[in-house]
């Protein structure tokens, strides 16, 4: 928690601006922008804008409204969290970051897009927002841990936290996407972008190359930790153009994140399950490009997972790794928070894809990534704050209309004797 205290002190300027009338103004701005629904973009729209008619003034005019809208929509949902979770220092810190970012962006609402200094200041502002939100994931995760350790997690509360975090982190992915696109295309001082990319989008993303890169990165970690690692066995099938390499229009960093996480899990399971074998079975990867979908199947022989645990693997309150500890360097690892799989699935769903697990207990697990093959169908999946969202936080879990088996079998002879 030392890192959280340091960050809270750094947020002191916000406290000064949100006292008295400042709080009222911030609340008013959140209410104003939350009335609007976010405007989802397709990968093709990102690509067309960045490659053919990239206009910084147009992008500025869109983002100065769209970014506050996305921030305000999710800020409204934060207030629906259970009070013991909402008042934790970590969650309050994250909320203060979001309010501060929204208020800084609101300052550009009336400024003229023809002013070059305004455009330059806007880039500085959104880079500042991105840097401020860098530790949102571990900080929010720390808040959930604090709440879980101090309060009883009933199924209804757990369901609402899961619902909120899926939407909260999806919103964060989308905000970073917008900021990265703008800065990579229009920030002349930024030389980190790939010249073949349009912002952070690769118009010709080589999927097999990305599989190899992610596998080698995970393999290096596995070797460091276990002094052993399985090999890769890869099959690719181009169902659209037989014999040709598989390319799609996509965000390489998103796909790398998914692959790296799945390879880490597969390698860990394989090494630990087969520790007594003289050699490790390879991890098999099948990449298939169809007319509508790109599918990637990652298969391991790591012993599998019981069916009853599959869904819990995507829960933010479940992890098989040791509980992490926040350190003074603010460099909290995601391992142990249980966020690897759920956030990887969000990356897949962000552009209308999906990530599923199919496991055979005692044998192994198949992890499947589905992505849209067409950039026109790869449209952002964004949370919107409305009556349906409010209702979700208020509805309790209804009683099951199927019999729930008891842990112990009934003693029918005793029941008949009583009768």
Question: Over its length of 419 residues, how does the chain's per-residue pLDDT go in tens digits?
Answer: 444 444 444 444 444 444 556 788 999 999 999 999 999 999 999 998 888 778 999 999 999 999 999 999 999 999 999 999 999 999 999 999 999 999 999 999 999 999 999 999 999 999 999 999 999 999 999 999 889 888 877 888 889 999 999 999 999 999 999 999 999 999 877 667 788 899 999 999 999 999 999 999 999 999 999 999 999 999 999 999 999 999 999 999 999 999 999 999 999 999 999 999 999 999 999 999 999 999 999 999 999 999 999 999 999 877 655 565 555 444 434 445 678 999 999 999 999 999 999 999 999 999 999 999 999 999 999 999 999 999 988 877 677 788 877 666 666 666 555 55
Q: What is the reported pLDDT for 328? A: 45
C-alpha 392/C-alpha 384 separation (Å) is 12
Q: What is the reported pLDDT for 2? A: 44
Question: Which residues are the active-site residues?
Answer: 257, 261, 264-265
Contacts of 266 (CB under 8 A, 6+ apart): 230, 283, 298, 300, 302, 365, 367
Q: Where are the beta strands (DSSP E) in 224-327?
A: 232-238, 247-250, 283-289, 293-300
204's enclosing H/E stretch is strand 202-206
Q: What is the reported pLDDT for 334? A: 40
Q: Where are the beta strands (DSSP E) in 278-419?
A: 283-289, 293-300, 354-360, 364-372
The answer to whether 271 and 223 are in contact (CB under 8 A) is: no
Nearest Cα residue to 372 out of 249, 199, 269? 249
Q: What own/partner pairs with CB < 8 Å and gap ≥ 24 does 235-238 have?
A: 235/284, 235/285, 235/286, 235/287, 236/207, 236/208, 236/286, 236/287, 236/288, 237/286, 237/287, 237/288, 237/289, 238/288, 238/289
C-alpha 227/C-alpha 220 separation (Å) is 9
Nearest Cα residue to 327 out of 317, 319, 318, 336? 336
Q: What is the reported pLDDT for 150? A: 83
CB-count exposure of residue 353 (10 Å: 0-12, 13-18, 19+): buried
| Residue 270, both tokens | 């394989």
Under DSSP, is residue 70 helix (H, G, I), strand (E, B) or coil?
helix
C-alpha 363/C-alpha 131 separation (Å) is 43
Q: Quote the pTM value.
A: 0.89
Q: What is the reported pLDDT for 257? A: 97
What CA dihedral angle connects 144, 350, 269 and 322, to 10 degrees?
Answer: -20
Q: What is the reported pLDDT for 327? A: 52
Q: Residue 294: beta bridge partners?
A: 289, 371
DSSP 8-state code for residue 264? H
């Amino acid at each position: 928690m030392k890192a959280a205290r340091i960050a809270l002190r750094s947020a002191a300027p916000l406290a000064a601006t949100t006292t008295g009338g400042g709080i009222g103004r911030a609340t008013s701005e959140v209410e104003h922008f939350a009335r609007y629904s976010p405007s989802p973009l397709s990968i093709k729209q990102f690509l067309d804008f960045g490659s053919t008619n990239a206009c910084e003034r147009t992008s500025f005019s869109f983002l100065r409204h769209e970014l506050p809208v996305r921030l305000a929509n999710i800020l409204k949902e934060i207030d629906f969290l259970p009070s013991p979770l909402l008042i934790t220092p970590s969650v309050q810190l994250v909320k203060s970051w979001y309010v501060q970012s929204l208020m800084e962006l609101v300052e550009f609402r009336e400024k003229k897009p023809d002013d070059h200094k305004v455009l330059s200041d806007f880039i500085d502002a959104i880079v500042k927002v991105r840097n401020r939100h860098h530790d949102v994931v571990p900080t929010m995760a720390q808040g959930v841990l604090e709440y879980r350790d101090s309060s009883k997690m009933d199924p209804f509360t757990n369901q609402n936290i899961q619902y909120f975090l899926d939407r909260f982190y999806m919103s964060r992915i989308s905000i970073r996407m917008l900021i990265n696109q703008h800065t990579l295309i229009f920030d002349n001082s930024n030389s980190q972008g790939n010249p073949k990319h349009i912002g952070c989008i690769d118009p010709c993303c080589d999927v097999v190359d990305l599989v190899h890169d992610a596998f080698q990165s995970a393999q290096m970690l596995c070797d460091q930790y276990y002094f052993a690692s399985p090999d890769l066995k890869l099959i690719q099938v181009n169902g659209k153009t037989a014999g040709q390499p598989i390319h799609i229009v996509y965000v390489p960093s998103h796909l790398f994140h998914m692959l790296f996480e799945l390879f880490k899990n597969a390698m860990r399971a394989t090494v630990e399950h087969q520790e007594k074998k003289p050699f490790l079975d390879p991890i098999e990867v099948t990449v298939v490009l169809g007319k509508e979908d790109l599918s990637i199947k990652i298969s391991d022989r790591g012993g599998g997972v019981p069916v009853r645990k599959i869904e819990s693997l995507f829960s933010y309150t479940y992890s098989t790794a040791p509980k992490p500890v926040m350190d003074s360097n603010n460099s909290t690892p995601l391992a142990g928070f249980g966020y690897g799989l759920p956030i990887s699935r969000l990356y897949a769903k962000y552009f209308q894809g999906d990530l599923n697990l199919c496991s055979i207990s005692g044998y192994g697990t198949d992890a499947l990534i589905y992505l849209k093959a067409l950039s026109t169908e790869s449209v952002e999946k964004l949370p919107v704050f409305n009556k349906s969202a409010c209702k979700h936080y208020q509805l309790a879990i209804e009683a099951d209309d199927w019999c729930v088996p008891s842990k112990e079998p009934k003693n029918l002879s005793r029941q008949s004797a009583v009768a």
